[in-house]
């Protein structure tokens, strides 16, 4: 009779993957779960129409702005320790959101949620990277992680609609508490203690402050364009200050003996290119969720629950794409699934750009969602594997933070840019005498058309900038102290 010890050891990586994915799923869920509930939240707490957007934007702002610091904090103080601390902080902030009695309290608590998420997400992915070394096991683990982006966002819309209609909008936030409490109880029993013997010295504090300030101001300036406009003095001035802060950040990093972004990481062409592709794809993906939610409710007349249920084909298709791509990841040139996935997503977005108020769900809407999801799911799995490939344990948090920064910054910029495009098109159509329903539809479809071109651009960039790496299929699994063949790319 065999000893149970090997079984326990074999189960540990799976449990660690489950914990990391549950944490990340909860963070992505909060990107969209509140969207469907916003009208109810605004009426209950007395938000003005303009201020209501900050229930979403406050989370994007701090989540995207503090990720680089979050990655370095995880590397410096230990991924498991920061996982526990930030998960507890996220749960506490969720509880305050659920109990909020004024707009100021809710927006403030959402900002704290985003800050905790910026610490939690890099720690979770760093734990995953340390558990699964280079090779097929890491590829499959990252496939599961990549699927969470679309699945979490789509599930957030479904859950937000169901909870708002069946219970109360406050449960949109309170649902995080039981998940976090279970995870907090399990983590000390499953995830090994942090090994800080090789920990770095404190990173460049001045550079960290400058980089974080630049990211925060960038996200803030972009989300405020909905009211100020892209060409206003306020917006242009904000971008000017962002450029100044960015230049000071680069200068500070160049002079530092312990830079926030190590030069060896920035010189690796493949991961940095993959991070840029993830940013482009996230910009299109999250904007698509935002506008499809509006199209279903304002044009097709769907209720909150029906809107959420309508995204089921997206969730199923993206999950399937992640599983299939994860199994094939080490056998093909990575440019093929990334470029092919982006092209397929462009086809789905093209179909969305032809939607009308008479479009049927089964004949038009569901197929466009499923096609877009399969394409994005395929591309994300490979891009994420490239972005984190070869990361050493001590840099896992930073590699994770760069990846998630691309997701969050891309999401904020994508939504803000598409809102401007849709609003301008709708306004133009109304001045021509088009009915409000058709004018609004034209605005939405114009945004979907721009998203299509964004995916086409990403496909071209993949072919132009990613290198073929056929040796990946034959490369043996590497240990913690080894780098990948493309580490110098």
pLDDT for position 470: 44
Q: Is 221 helix (H, G, I), strand (E, B) or coil?
A: helix
Please work out, in degrees rounded to the nearest 5, the angle formed at the alpha carbon of residue 356 by the alpha carbons of 56 and 284: 40
10-residue mean pLDDT series, the chain (489 residues): 39 77 81 75 76 77 80 80 92 93 91 91 81 70 69 73 80 89 86 67 72 83 76 89 90 79 70 82 83 85 81 85 73 82 94 93 93 88 73 57 76 80 86 88 92 92 75 38 39
Angle at 438 (CA atoms; ends 432, 443), nearest 5 degrees: 85
Question: Can you give the pLDDT at residue 124?
Answer: 84
What pLDDT does residue 370 have?
Answer: 93
Contact (CB, 8 A) for 210 and 245: yes
* pLDDT of amino acid 367: 94
**In this predicted structure, what is the pLDDT of residue 86?**
92
- The pLDDT value recorded for residue 237 is 92
Residue 79: predicted pLDDT: 82
Please compute, for residue 92, the number of CA atoms within 13 A of its CA located in the half-sphere on the CB side. 9
Distance CA 329, CA 311 (A): 27
pLDDT at 483: 36
Q: Using alpha carbons only, what angle is made at residue 121 by residues 207 and 215, rounded to the nearest 5 degrees?
A: 35
pLDDT, position 352: 95
CATH class of 8-191+260-474: mainly alpha
pTM (global) more than 0.85: no
Q: Where are the domains of the chain?
A: 8-191+260-474, 204-259
Q: Both ends of the chain: CA-CA distance in Å?
A: 49
- From CA 82, how far away is CA 428, in angstroms rounded? 50
- Whole-number Å distance between alpha carbons of 234 and 206: 26
Other beta carbons within 10 Å of 143: 26
Query: What Å distances lie between residue 428 and 232, 325, 350, 425, 434, CA to CA?
Result: 19, 43, 22, 5, 9
Closest CA to 39 of 49, 29, 30, 25: 49
* DSSP sequence for 28-75: HHHHHTTTTTHHHHHHHHT--TTGGGHHHHHHHHHHHHTHHHHHHHHH
């Amino acid at each position: 009779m065999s000893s149970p010890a090997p079984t326990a050891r074999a189960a540990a990586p799976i449990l660690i993957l489950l914990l990391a994915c549950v944490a990340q799923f909860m963070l992505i869920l909060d990107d969209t779960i509140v969207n469907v509930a916003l009208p109810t939240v605004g009426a209950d707490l007395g938000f003005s129409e303009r201020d209501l957007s900050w229930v979403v934007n406050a989370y994007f702002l701090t989540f995207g702005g503090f990720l680089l610091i979050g990655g370095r904090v995880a590397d410096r103080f230990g991924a498991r320790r920061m996982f526990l601390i930030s998960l507890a902080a996220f749960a506490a902030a969720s509880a305050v959101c659920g109990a909020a009695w004024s707009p100021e309290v809710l927006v403030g608590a959402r900002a704290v949620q985003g800050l905790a998420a910026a610490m939690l997400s890099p720690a979770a992915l760093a734990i995953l990277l340390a558990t699964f070394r280079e090779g097929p096991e890491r590829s499959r683990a990252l496939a599961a992680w990549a699927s969470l982006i679309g699945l979490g966002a789509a599930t957030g819309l479904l859950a937000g609609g169901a909870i708002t209609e069946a219970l109360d909008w406050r449960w949109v936030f309170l649902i995080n508490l039981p998940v976090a409490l279970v995870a907090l109880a399990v983590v000390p029993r499953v995830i090994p203690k942090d090994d800080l013997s090789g920990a770095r010295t404190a990173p460049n504090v001045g550079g960290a402050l400058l980089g974080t300030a630049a990211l925060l101001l960038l996200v803030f300036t972009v989300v405020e364009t909905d009211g100020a406009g892209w060409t206003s003095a306020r917006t242009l001035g904000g971008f000017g200050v962002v450029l100044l802060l960015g230049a000071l950040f680069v200068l500070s990093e160049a002079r530092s003996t312990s830079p926030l972004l190590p030069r060896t990481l920035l010189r690796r062409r493949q991961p940095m290119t993959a991070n840029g592709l993830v940013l482009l794809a996230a910009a299109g993906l999250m904007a698509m969720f935002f506008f499809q939610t509006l199209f279903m409710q304002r044009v097709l007349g769907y209720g909150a629950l029906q809107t959420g249920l309508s995204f089921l084909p997206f969730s199923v298709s993206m999950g399937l794409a992640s599983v299939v791509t994860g199994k094939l990841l080490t056998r093909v040139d990575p440019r093929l699934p990334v470029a092919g996935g982006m092209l397929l997503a462009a086809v789905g977005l093209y179909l969305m750009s032809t939607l009308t108020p008479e479009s049927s769900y089964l004949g038009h809407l569901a197929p466009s969602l499923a096609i877009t999801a399969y394409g994005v799911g395929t591309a994300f799995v490979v891009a994420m594997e490239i972005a984190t490939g070869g990361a050493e344990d001590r840099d896992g948090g930073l590699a994770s933070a760069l990846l998630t920064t691309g997701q969050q910054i891309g999401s904020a910029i994508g939504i803000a840019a598409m809102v401007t495009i849709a609003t301008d098109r709708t306004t133009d159509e109304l001045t021509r005498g088009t009915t409000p329903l058709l004018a609004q539809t034209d605005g939405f479809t114009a945004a979907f058309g721009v998203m299509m071109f964004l995916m086409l651009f990403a496909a071209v960039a993949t072919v132009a900038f990613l290198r073929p790496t056929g040796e990946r299929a034959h490369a043996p699994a590497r240990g913690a102290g080894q780098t990948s063949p493309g580490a110098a790319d």
